[in-house]
Amino acid sequence: MKGVELYARVRRAVLVKGMSRREAARVFGIDRRTVDKTLAFSVPPGYRRLKPVRRPKLDPFTGVIDQILESDTKVPRKQRHTSKRIFERLRDEHGFTGGITIVKDYVYAARQRSAEMFVPLSHPPGHAQVDFGEALGVIGGVERKIHFLAMDLPQSDACFVKAYPGETTEAFCDGHVSAFSFFGGVPRSILYDNTAIAVARILGDGRRKRTRVFSELVSHYLFEDRFGRPGKGNDKGKVEGLVGYARRNFMVPLPRFADFDALNAWLEDRCRQRMGDRLRRHTDTIGERLNWDIAAFQDLPSVAYDACDKRCARVSSLSLVRYRGNDYSVPTAYGHREVVVRAYVHDVVISCGAEIIARHRRSWAKEDFIFDPLHYLALIEHKTNALDQAAPLAGWELPQAFATLRRLLEARMGKNGKREFVQILRLMETFSLDDVEAGINSALERGTIGFDAVKHLVLCRIERRPPRLDLTVYPYLPKAHVAATHPGAYMSLLSGSDR
């Protein structure tokens, strides 16, 4: 192809110096048609195809390729045809005899023609986008998957990120409550994908039927909920970008923290630090532009939303309530009754009517049993033979004084001593472990081995009054006999008669 320097020389010779076109072709050693082209264009126009490309081997099969590409739009992205797979199908199913290269070129061009185009958007103040992301981290010395909720304010690019053990309803709600508190207000609207946490069903006209918990959250904070098209992450591109940004900048290298509370305190600090950044095309920092969002926000309600997952359940014959595959204990007095489970990110609270009957640390394991030994003591008091085999008491670490007291009780009272020991354990249903331990130690010092003595000493400790114990009520205590002294005994010692 002729260079632009030649074009300039030919055009100058003909158009400025008056050289004829025939003479220019002879002088510059080019064809007359090339001279005509240089006069028509100031720079080389490049190759111009006047007729469509002919592909005698591929043209009969282009309709098949187009149909395959069209059907691929309805299946998951990771299960769509590659150019190689399309070539293999053309060869094996339709008798195609051409090479793979022309198939790859056609598929590439077809996909370029069908690629989606986007409209640049502007974002007014006071609106937000929310999504979940995933990353790996080390929590409590164990490497595990972290699910983090990200809220982005598109106008200011301010962000909030909080990590959780799982992408659950209670984490979704807690993330909103924490984000609203972090920003000091409620966005006018929030854009989501079609997560099952918020959307129970997409109706035929495109409207969404909200889940019960999400409806409660919207009603409490009164923001407008908006949803992107199914499978179209670009509808909420700002928060999609934030998820990637948080993963690359907050989760690299792998975050290592003792627990999620420590991790989230660090993530919140990173979000505050980012407010000092000034992004491309903006003269103000993120923090300065955040003021415009805050000015457009709605006020926070006086009370935060109770961010939990509520479910009804029934207590089993083992005094256990099942929630998400794990079993949590309740007092045996509530066996076989209907209860309400309120699951928070880190706690599980169980209520019967208006009364809270159990509170446990949430377990994120599978098929786990979470016991509170105190829940079973009332039953074990009547079934004392189960004391040594009771699973809720296995691994219950108690001070050594408890074991000493039990040994003495059983040695002096037999089977009834075991029941008295359970009754002493039940004091921890009302009093603290430290107070009961102090009462036991005081009883051991006095030799008053029994439930009523320990209870009396615990009450005296709490009420700060001296104990008043009648030792005659402990007939199993060893009696001390003091005999009268006789002079003969001293004389026998002096004479050494015992030797």
pLDDT of residue 131: 95
What's the confidence (pLDDT) of residue 119?
Answer: 74
Assigned token pair, 266: 């660090």
β-bridge partners, 150: 131, 161
pLDDT of residue 280: 84
Residue range 154-182, pLDDT digits in tens:
999 999 999 999 999 999 999 999 999 99
In this structure, are strands 224-227 and 189-192 parallel, antiparallel, or unpaired? parallel
CA distances from 466 to 341, 432, 434, 441, 459 (A): 44, 20, 18, 15, 10
pLDDT at 382 > cutoff 70: yes
CATH fold, domain 127-296, is Nucleotidyltransferase; domain 5 (3.30.420)
Would you state the pLDDT for residue 43?
86
pLDDT score at 48: 74
For the record, the structure tokens of 220 come out as 């409490």
Kindly state the average pLDDT of the residues 260-265.
96
Q: What is the pLDDT of the chain when averaged over all its residues?
A: 90
How far CA 127 is from CA of 48, 50, 153, 187, in Å, comes to 49, 52, 6, 5
Q: Which residues pair with 164 in a beta bridge?
A: 147
Greater confidence (347 vs 280) lies with 347
Split at pLDDT 50, 70, 90, the class of 79 is very high
Mean pLDDT of 183-203: 92
| pLDDT number for residue 202 | 86
CA 223 from chain centre, in angstroms, equals: 23
Q: Where are the domains of the chain?
A: 4-40, 59-114, 127-296, 309-370, 378-473
Decide: helix, strand or coil at residue 52.
Answer: coil
Comparing 81-85, 203-207, 211-215, 257-261, which segment has the lowest mean pLDDT?
203-207
Look at residue 482 in the predicted model and tell me its pLDDT: 58
Mean of the pLDDT values across residues 457-475?
79
The span from the CA of 407 to the CA of 470, in Å, is 23
The answer to whether the beta carbons of residues 149 and 345 sit under 8 Å apart is no
3 state SS of 251? coil
pLDDT at 1: 54
The rounded distance, in Å, linking the Cα atoms of 431 and 444 is: 19
CA nearest 419: which of 372, 469, 379, 373? 379
Residue 47 or residue 77, greater confidence: 77
Residue 132 to residue 151: CA distance in whole angstroms = 9
Alpha-helical (H) ranges within 115-193 are 169-183
Which SS3 state, helix, strand or coil, does residue 109 take?
helix
Percentage of the chain surpassing pLDDT 90?
A: 72
* Residue 499: per-residue pLDDT: 47
User: What's the whole-model pTM score?
Assistant: 0.74
